[in-house]
Chains A and B, each alone.
Chain A
Amino acid sequence: MKRTSRPTAPLLTAAVATLALGTAGCSGATNTLGGGKALNAADLRLTPTTAEATGRLDTVNWLLEDEPDSLDLDTQGTSAGRAVLTNVCERLYQLQPDMSVRPFLARKATRPDPTTLVLSLRDDVTFHDGAKMTADDVLWSLKRHADPDMEQADEFGNVKKMAKTGPHEITITFKEPDALFTKALAGDAGLVYHRSQVQAAGAEFGTPGRGDACSGPYELTSWKSGDSLTIRRSDSYWGSKPLTRQIVFRWASDSAFVNALTTGAADGGYAESPNTAAALAGRKGLTEHYGPSTASLALIPTERGGLKDPAIRRALSLALDRAGIAASGYGGLVQPWATPVGSGSWGYAKPAFATAQRKLNAAAPARPDAAALARAKKLVQSAGAPAEPIVIGTDASQGRTVIANAVRAALQSIGLVGQIKTVPTAQFEEFYSSQQARSEIDVLVGDWYISKSDPMGFYDNALSDSPNNWVGFKSRTYDSTVHQALRTLDDGARARLAVRVQKEFADAAVWVPVAQVPSVLVLKDGLTGPPASQAHLYYPWAAELGTAPGAAPAHQPQEKD
């Protein structure tokens, strides 16, 4: 799973945003984005949760950066749709705020042998229409996700058979052990729908004006296309009751997002773009919380060959000023990082991954010192400089522009020539899919996230036969370790393999990592509860939203019930 750009006019919104952030904000701003206090990437502490809420709320106005495309995540999954639906729909497994995964609508899971997964389903779950969740609903939902036309179909590539084996039991058999499958069940591949509801809605399922077919703590009450979307606490919810009765979602991007939160028109929101988050940092009346996410910024070399030699890629990595990029491109809201996935991917064996990551820092320094530059120059010398200038593909967004310039500066500092090629965002997206589009550039300034909290959800992208392995990286040990890790069900053992895979990926500099992008939660003072981590896309965050102990916001009447 990946990140797609929000479909707004980038140049236009950039202009509006830049001006707006410059004029509408506080005076005495120190950072380039015109927000509150300047942040330092090194000081950024990532905490998965926020303090527990105790006070009830009646209605909370929540801001999304975009209107959901559709509420049928099988056909059109976007972050905005997930952030809403995760409070309404439930999955067989659940991603926790700390990014670990546990059985959820499946009460427990057993593996009689490595290629069989038996899910024992909860028998006390009711859908919002009052019907009980049955094994038939679960099986039907899984088969819908597995349909080749649906977004999650690739998660089922290893599945040989799915069958109902008891009144509350589903058995899934695999062609070979699949370590990531239960992680996928905590994502959109594990959504459970009430079959008859979905079938009755037909092609209209997930469009405005339709109900949901789910069992979560909130029900979808209305979606007025282009205006707002409302969810209300479900009276019949099988689990514990949320503190907040109703959430009204509206959407705005860039400066409008910042203004709505600054003026109190909205009570909170997850800021998807680091630049928006930076503009809101330190604003009076608001608190920002930073949590781990799997998102990262990275330089992705293409098959064109200017960065064909791993030595040149390693040299570029050594010479890149990541701290400078974080400060001037993202207001200090991204962290220099040595792997292509953020720390939110560490859903297990966190200490092992953290230690392994630190070891890689030497090859991807936050700020290149003299020694790193000397090593980089030596690498270039022994490899020989490419004859043609290295073309850096970017769009006009602020962050990417800064990275592209930093890459050019880094290349220059090691005696190479860089050339920036700027294209519209729509065309930029094409770089990811079309080899022909990529034939104009040597490296692109990429952003990426994975939906599964497991680094192995990323590293298959560099397998010899992966369509995303553009540089043609080929290593038999890499391929076999990746395949072995994907088959290894034991977390500890898989973590050890993942660390090996990660090391080989870094040594070959298949991608040049730049920074990890945290998940950012903005809350009006007095509100608390939801997770700050990327889990907000898959965990019912609204169910934990409420007021902080002794801090009811003045304008919110305390709900009586």
Chain B
Amino acid sequence: MVRRLVRRIAGLIATLFAASFVIFASVYAAPGDPAVFLAGGRDKLTPEKIATVRAQYHLDEPLVVQYGRWLWDCVHTDLGRSFRYGDQVADLLTARLPTTLALVGYATVLFVLLGVGAGVLAAVRRGWVDSAVVGATTLAGSVPSFVAAIALISLFGVRLGWFPVTGGGTGFAGTVHHLTLPALSMALGALAIISRVTRQAMLDAAAADHVEVARACGVPEREIVLRHVLRNALGPIVTMCGLVTAGMLAGTVVIETAFGISGIGSLLVGAINTHDFPVAQAVLLLMVTGYILATTLVDLVHPLLDPRVKAARSAI
């Protein structure tokens, strides 16, 4: 067990190390010159001023040296200062992360409840209900999230005035109120995938012999669905939910822009556009870490849900 944990952590660190270098190099290679943004006004952009700025921020050093400098500070828990804000990168992240996590969390709750619910419904009630669910979720899934955002803003925000259309809100009730439309916009896209996976997993599980036996023994249908079908189908459903949530961590930027929410998605876009290396690097790494953690969590939860997986792993 301990050995497995150590191996996992070592793997995690290796992945982060590789990812950090790739990210650093890509931000570095993006078009545009950070010194231009750092120098200030356009009328001050003399070659001398740009050279000074470049030296001040170590931008004149080779990529590897800059990366080494960043890594060294990072290991000493110093993520550096933002070029643009002059503030500690850690402070910037701490301020914005809760909003993004709340948004992703809320969207996850929505798509799990609605998606799994719709999938179960489609699997249990074959016929027109099934077709209707598949049709509706496919339609919802085919609408890009920013289009959904605009439609929701237009209807529930501007016309009906039920929900606020900007900002993240304060307090639990305020946050829920503010984030409902953004979370729904994000969840709609995931509905099709989750409901389809749920439906198929349920159908596969329902085809198993023991389900037939249970049914023949007169076990109530409700119990069959819950204990024998859904439980056996949970493995793929949880895996897919985990993957979709992990993907959402990196995909909040469009929604944050549409709803004027200052989360890490909009922070990242701003950082990339102004060549704010320290911030872009930190946010991207955070996203990679979030993805790895979410998928690792799914891996750990899977055997608990399905003893067969555990047995298979132990055998290896």
**Which A residues fall within an 8 A CB radius of B?**
1-4, 7-9, 12-13, 15-16, 19-20, 23-25, 67, 69-70, 72, 75-77, 149, 151, 154, 203-204, 206-209, 224-228, 250-257, 259-260, 262-263, 265-266, 423-427, 429-430, 432-434, 448, 461, 467-468
Contacts and interface: CB of A to CB of B under 8 A. Distances in A.
A282 to B, nearest CB: 15
B258 A256 contact: yes
A4 B44 contact: no
B305 interface: no
B263 to A, nearest CB: 7
Contacts of B42: 2-4, 432-433, 448, 468
Nearest to B271: A7
Given A2-B43, A75-B86, A24 B33 contact: no
Contact of B166 (A4, A16, A252): A252
A529 to B, nearest CB: 24
Contacts of B91: 207-209, 225
Nearest to A153: B44
Most buried by A among B33, B161, B168: B33
A1 B275 contact: no
B154 interface: yes
Contact of B85 (A20, A69, A250): A69
A426 B273 contact: yes
Contacts of A77: 40
Interface of B: 30-33, 35-37, 39-47, 50, 52, 56, 81, 84-88, 91-92, 95-96, 99, 146-147, 149-151, 153-154, 157-158, 161, 164-168, 170, 253-254, 257-260, 262-263, 266-267, 269-270, 273-275
B86 A69 contact: yes
B150 A424 contact: no
B153 A430 contact: no
Nearest to B270: A7
B263 A424 contact: no
Contacts of A432: 36, 42, 45
Nearest to A264: B161
B95 A9 contact: no
Nearest to B259: A256
Contact of A224 (B37, B44, B95, B146): B95
B95 A257 contact: no
A9 B168 CA distance: 20
Given A69-B85, A426-B31, A432-B42, A23 B154 contact: yes
Contact of A263 (B36, B158, B168, B266): B158
B164 A265 contact: yes
A67 B146 contact: no
B147 to A, nearest CB: 7
Contacts of A1: 41, 43
Most buried by A among B161, B165, B166: B166
Given A151-B40, A225-B87, A427-B32, A20 B153 contact: yes
A32 B35 CA distance: 37
A206 B257 contact: no
A237 B81 CA distance: 34
B41 A24 contact: no
Given A16-B257, A424-B31, A426-B30, A72 B86 contact: yes
A527 to B, nearest CB: 19
A69 B257 contact: no
Most buried by B among A251, A254, A263: A263
Contacts of A250: 166-167, 260
Most buried by A among B99, B253, B257: B257
Contacts of B47: 467
B46 A467 contact: yes
B153 A70 contact: no
27 contacts: A1-B41, A2-B42, A7-B37, A8-B266, A12-B254, A16-B150, A20-B154, A24-B150, A24-B158, A207-B87, A208-B87, A209-B91, A226-B263, A228-B167, A250-B166, A251-B262, A252-B167, A255-B150, A255-B153, A256-B166, A263-B158, A266-B166, A424-B31, A424-B32, A426-B274, A433-B36, A433-B45
Given A7-B273, A25-B158, 13 more contacts: A24-B154, A24-B157, A24-B158, A70-B87, A151-B41, A204-B87, A226-B99, A253-B257, A255-B258, A259-B157, A266-B166, A430-B31, A432-B36
A556 to B, nearest CB: 18
A149 B38 CA distance: 11
Contacts of B269: 7-9, 12
Contact of A256 (B33, B39, B154, B260): B260
A154 B157 CA distance: 47
A429 B257 contact: no
Nearest to A205: B86
A265 B263 contact: no
A505 B52 CA distance: 32
B81 to A, nearest CB: 8
B178 to A, nearest CB: 10
A8 B257 contact: yes
B274 A7 contact: yes
A69 B36 contact: no
A225 B86 contact: no
Nearest to A15: B146
Contacts of A461: 43
A139 B45 CA distance: 27
A467 B273 CA distance: 25
A255 B41 CA distance: 27
Given A16-B150, A430-B33, A467-B46, A252 B86 contact: no
B262 A9 contact: no
Contact of B44 (A76, A154, A260): A154
Nearest to B97: A226
B85 A207 contact: yes
Nearest to B154: A24
Contacts of B37: 4, 7, 429
Given A16-B254, A225-B87, A24 B153 contact: yes
